[in-house]
């Protein structure tokens, strides 16, 4: 077969590759800590709801995920028109950028942050303007405000930040929002918000109520344990939500995902008990790492960050040989998810040898 001569867009040819977390092999002693997944299996009530709904998969799902959107709206104290469900929060982010960015517009975000940001930005033809993280792994919101220009259309704030872990603080976020022009959209990506225990962290719903140019991004993949079904959502002013909905993929949330998300919302108390267990394991992991002499950012998510620098690839390979799959960021560090109970002891046993 001859090679095609149809050229790809320049943005596609030069896109950075999204690197997923390594998948576990069939060995029973391998623990996957590379994708920030919830280590608990789905609740029985969620599994039963999905099984009942499986007989309907010959039909298209509700295109607007109406019942799910109403349940989410009630949870956030907004009207249903303010909610846009989608195929995971990263897909919803793509719809947000498509709705508000033209070619050449600027999108400001910190780096290092969520690996999908530069990909999603460049797919729209926009330009990513990156601001370095502070030395403690936190957003430098003052520098982000200074990076806004007349070409800026969107600012992305990842809180807690993936992969370093800290959450922004309410006072600094409000100061930042006061400095952002009202015509610039601020996306507050709260994929890990259920794990936050910092009393100074902002309440996203109150931030949204006070600032009509804010979009909240949430997901059912992490705390709710539905990573395999891909369902997330945006909450924003109804006028902005209308534009995001226009850009969204038709039938983007499968019927099974809608059913599972609704069942999960009904079981929130039971699910949050599991979240508390993960938070306790996170505290034990952070304390153990610091006791070994590591300088670790104050994670408010379900993972921790180790700055391993030039030895990152080597350390990730050593972890894999020890049956621990972690997520390396070449030349920078390792992100290690908080997983099964035995994973904490095994991670600390390994990292102790590195000190």
In the numeric block, which tokens belong to residue 230?
Answer: 């891909």
In the chain, what percentage of residues exceed pLDDT 90? Answer: 92
Question: Quick one: 184 and 281 in the same domain?
Answer: no
Looking at 212, 238, 266, the residue that finishes a domain is: 266
Question: Quick one: 300 and 320 in the same domain?
Answer: yes
The whole-number average pLDDT for the span 59-77 is 97
- Cα distances from 4 to residues 1, 15, 88, 222, 288, in angstroms, run 9, 20, 33, 41, 55
| pLDDT on residue 25 | 61
Residue 298 has pLDDT above 70, yes or no: yes
Confirm whether 184 is domain-assigned. yes
SS3 5: coil
How far is CA 62 from its chain centroid? 25
Question: Quick one: 137 and 251 in the same domain?
Answer: yes
Confidence of residue 96 (pLDDT cuts 50, 70, 90): very high
Confidence of residue 18 (pLDDT cuts 50, 70, 90): confident
Question: Quick one: 260 and 158 in the same domain?
Answer: yes
The model's pLDDT over 179-196, given as tens digits with 9 standing for 90+, comes to 999 999 999 999 999 999
The CATH number of the domain holding residue 15 is 3.90.1150.10
Looking at 214, 245, 266, the residue that finishes a domain is: 266
Sequence-distant (≥ 6) Cβ neighbours of residue 327 within 8 angstroms: 21, 22, 33, 34, 35, 163, 316, 334, 335, 336, 337
Backbone φ, ψ for residue 38 (5° rounding): -75, 125
Confirm whether 5 is domain-assigned. no
Confidence of residue 12 (pLDDT cuts 50, 70, 90): confident
Among 105, 149, 150, which Cα is nearest to 125's?
105
The whole-number average pLDDT for the span 223-236 is 97
Confirm whether 37 is domain-assigned. no
Confirm whether 40 is domain-assigned. no
> Which alpha helices (H) appear in 124-267, and where do they start and end?
141-146, 170-179, 204-210, 238-247, 255-266
The whole-number average pLDDT for the span 105-129 is 97
Confidence of residue 27 (pLDDT cuts 50, 70, 90): low
Question: Quick one: 195 and 147 in the same domain?
Answer: yes
Structural domain including 305 reads 10-32+269-354
Question: Quick one: 66 and 158 in the same domain?
Answer: yes
Residue 26 has pLDDT above 60, yes or no: no
In the numeric block, which tokens belong to residue 168?
Answer: 């922004």
The model's pLDDT over 78-94, given as tens digits with 9 standing for 90+, comes to 999 999 999 999 999 99
> Which alpha helices (H) appear in the chain, and where do they start and end?
10-13, 44-53, 66-76, 89-100, 116-123, 141-146, 170-179, 204-210, 238-247, 255-266, 268-291, 312-321, 341-354
Question: Quick one: 299 and 227 in the same domain?
Answer: no
Question: Quick one: 71 and 203 in the same domain?
Answer: yes
Confirm whether 3 is domain-assigned. no
CB 319 within 8 A of CB 349: no
The CATH number of the domain holding residue 89 is 3.40.640.10
- The CA distance from 263 to 257, in Å, is 10
Question: Quick one: 253 and 285 in the same domain?
Answer: no
Among 36, 8, 6, 41, which Cα is nearest to 20's?
36
**Domain count of the chain?**
2
Confirm whether 39 is domain-assigned. no
Confirm whether 236 is domain-assigned. yes
Q: Which long-range contacts (CB under 8 A, 24 or more apart) does 294-298 make?
A: 294/351, 294/355, 297/136, 297/137, 297/138, 297/164, 297/165, 297/166, 298/136, 298/137, 298/165, 298/166, 298/198
CB 299 within 8 A of CB 286: yes
In the numeric block, which tokens belong to residue 11?
Answer: 């943005």
The model's pLDDT over 323-345, given as tens digits with 9 standing for 90+, comes to 999 999 999 999 999 999 999 99
Maximum separation of any 2 CA atoms in the chain, in Å: 61
How far is CA 302 from its chain centroid? 11
Confirm whether 317 is domain-assigned. yes
Residue 250 has pLDDT above 70, yes or no: yes
In the numeric block, which tokens belong to residue 132?
Answer: 């370095």
Residue 15 has pLDDT above 70, yes or no: yes
Question: Quick one: 259 and 148 in the same domain?
Answer: yes
Question: Quick one: 324 and 176 in the same domain?
Answer: no
The model's pLDDT over 41-57, given as tens digits with 9 standing for 90+, comes to 999 999 999 999 999 99
Question: Quick one: 253 and 328 in the same domain?
Answer: no
The whole-number average pLDDT for the span 212-235 is 97
106 forms bridges with which residues in the sheet? 127, 152
Looking at 245, 266, 287, the residue that finishes a domain is: 266
């Amino acid at each position: 077969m001859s090679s095609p001569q149809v050229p790809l867009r320049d943005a596609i040819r030069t896109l950075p590759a999204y690197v997923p977390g390594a998948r576990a092999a069939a060995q029973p002693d391998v623990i996957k800590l590379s994708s920030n997944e919830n280590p608990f299996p789905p609740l029985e009530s969620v599994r039963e709801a999905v099984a009942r709904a499986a007989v309907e998969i010959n039909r298209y799902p509700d295109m607007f995920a109406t019942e799910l959107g109403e349940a989410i709206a009630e949870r956030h104290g907004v009207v249903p028109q303010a909610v846009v469900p989608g195929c995971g929060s990263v897909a919803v982010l793509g719809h947000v950028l498509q709705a508000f960015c033209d070619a050449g517009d600027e999108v400001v975000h910190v780096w290092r942050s969520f690996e999908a940001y530069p990909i999603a930005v460049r797919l729209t033809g926009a330009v990513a303007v990156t601001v370095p993280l502070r030395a403690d792994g936190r957003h430098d919101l003052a520098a982000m405000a200074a990076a806004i220009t007349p070409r800026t259309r969107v600012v992305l704030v990842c809180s807690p930040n993936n992969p370093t872990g800290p959450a922004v603080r309410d006072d600094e976020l409000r100061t930042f929002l006061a400095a952002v022009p009202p015509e610039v959209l601020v996306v507050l990506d709260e994929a890990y918000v259920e794990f936050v225990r910092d009393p100074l962290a902002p309440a996203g719903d109150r931030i949204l109520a006070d600032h009509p140019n804010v979009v909240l991004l949430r997901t059912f993949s992490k705390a709710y344990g539905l990573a395999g079904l891909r369902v997330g959502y945006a909450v924003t002013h109804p006028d902005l939500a209308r534009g995001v909905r226009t850009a969204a993929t038709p039938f983007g949330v499968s019927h099974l995902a809608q059913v599972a998300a609704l069942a999960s919302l009904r079981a929130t108390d039971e699910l949050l008990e599991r979240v508390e267990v993960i938070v306790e394991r996170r505290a034990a992991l952070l304390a153990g790492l610091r006791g070994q002499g590591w300088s670790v950012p104050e994670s408010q998510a379900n993972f921790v960050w180790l700055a391993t620098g030039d030895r990152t690839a080597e350390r990730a390979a050593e972890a894999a040989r020890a049956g621990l799959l972690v997520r390396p960021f070449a030349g920078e560090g390792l992100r290690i998810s908080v997983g099964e109970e035995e994973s904490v002891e095994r991670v600390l046993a390994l990292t102790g040898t590195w000190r």
